Amino acid sequence: MIQGTSEPFLGRALENGYREKVKLATKMPHWSVKEPRDMDRILNAQRDRLKSEQIEYYLVHTLDGPSWERLEILGAGGFLTQAKADGRIGNAGFSFHGSREAFVKIIDAYDWDFCQIQYSFLDQQNQAGTKGLKYAASKGLGVIVMEPLRGGMLGRTPPPEVAKIWGEAETERTPAEWALRWVWNHPEVTVVLSGMNDEAHILENLRIADEGAFNSLTKEELDLFKRVERQYRLLMKAGCTGCRYCMPCPSGVDIPTCFEAWNYAHMYGDTKWAKLFYIARVAGFAGDPGRASQCEECGECEEKCPQKLPIRDNLKAVSAEMEGRYFNAKIWLYRNFSKFYRWKLLRQGSQ
């Protein structure tokens, strides 16, 4: 969906009685707040677009330490308190991408109702982490977990080394179910957000949420998670979650896709397919090119990265491994093969 169109779309979709059946959530983009009155302006415009007098769950979007300090000076706490008092919002919260220390400071700085954090069995130490999760819950906040499947990575067919470990479990589960049940196993978690592409995913998510009671995993299963986590860390080259907060890149590099191909090559040992995927996605067939070699090392991405990854160094490694000496020749071959294949399909269809 084009940026800025989701709220009007949802507003139209919830007409004719549907609005009363749901609870609405949306976020305030803190980077658009330049002066105190901007907060009221943004919220009121969102209410208009959503065709709703109240937004039940209102989040200050993607906070870290510096962004919250700036908003505090601009009076964000007073704005949220007033918006709750006059009924424009029901509950005040924030989504977070920063250090654990900053997370604790933000929790203590205002009487929040809820927060949203990234959390998975590979992110126990990243950002808020397990300690942050427990701290927020101890303060009475509802905790919404995003990225439980790490951008979908943990829901895919796992590398053979990981599949072998899961295969030792007494109960057979899909990779997505293992990852989601691990999050639901924590009593501090209130809601788990997971991307769903079709009705089967919705049904699976509902079933797992229903069955994944707190502390329902056995000691043996939790031990499997520890082994799986170690194995993933041995195989992964870049700890990228695919959140895309590093984007857009001033040089046009598609950073998450570059890392996805690089990780795939090392996790599955299928360099040939990974390079083909890399060419198909970043060579510019469906838009502007986004190759790792385009990086001009400005460092803007590293300032934005929630994981604080050494993106510039990693992109150099991606370029060396995924592009190489004959990269342009491979692009030429791929482009012409694709043209021939499409021509062949069209020719067969016309006969």
Q: What ranges do the domains of the chain cover?
A: 6-235, 255-347
Residue (of 94, 19, 90) closest to 50 by Cα position: 19
Best CA proximity match to 311, nearest among 241, 232, 264: 241
pLDDT at 345: 52
pLDDT of residue 5: 80
Over the stretch 28-54, which tens digit does the pLDDT of each residue have? Answer: 999 899 999 999 999 999 999 999 999
Task: Name which residue leads in pLDDT, 255 or 324.
Answer: 255
Q: How confident is the model at residue 347 (pLDDT cuts 50, 70, 90)?
A: low
Q: What percent of the chain has pLDDT over 90?
A: 60
Mean pLDDT of 80-106: 95
pLDDT value for 349: 47
Average pLDDT for residues 197-216, to the nearest whole number? 87
Task: Select the more confidently predicted residue: 56 or 347.
Answer: 56
Three-class SS of 65-76: HHHHHHHHHCCH
pLDDT tier for residue 14 given thresholds of 50, 70 and 90: very high
Neighbours of 13 (CB within 10 A): 12
Question: Does residue 206 surpass a pLDDT of 80?
Answer: yes
Residue 1 has pLDDT above 60, yes or no: no
**Of 148-152, 202-206, 235-239, where does mean pLDDT reach its minimum?**
148-152
Helix axes 219-235, 255-268, angle to 10 degrees: 110
pLDDT exceeds cutoff 70 at 314: yes
What letter represents residue 307's amino acid?
Answer: Q
DSSP classification of residue 16: T
- For range 317-322, the mean pLDDT: 92
Asked if 137 contacts 167 with a C-beta cutoff of 8 angstroms, the reply is no
- For residue 307, name the pLDDT band (cuts at 50, 70, 90): confident
- State the pTM of this model: 0.76
Read off the tokens for 159: 């590398």
Domain 6-235: give its CATH code: 3.20.20.100
Average pLDDT score over the chain: 89
φ, ψ for residue 28, nearest 5 deg: -95, 120
Give the Cα separation of 39 and 42 in Å (integer): 5
Give the pLDDT confidence of 140-156 residue by residue, as tens digits.
Answer: 999 999 989 887 778 88
The confidence score (pLDDT) of residue 48 equals 95
Coil, strand or helix at 63: strand
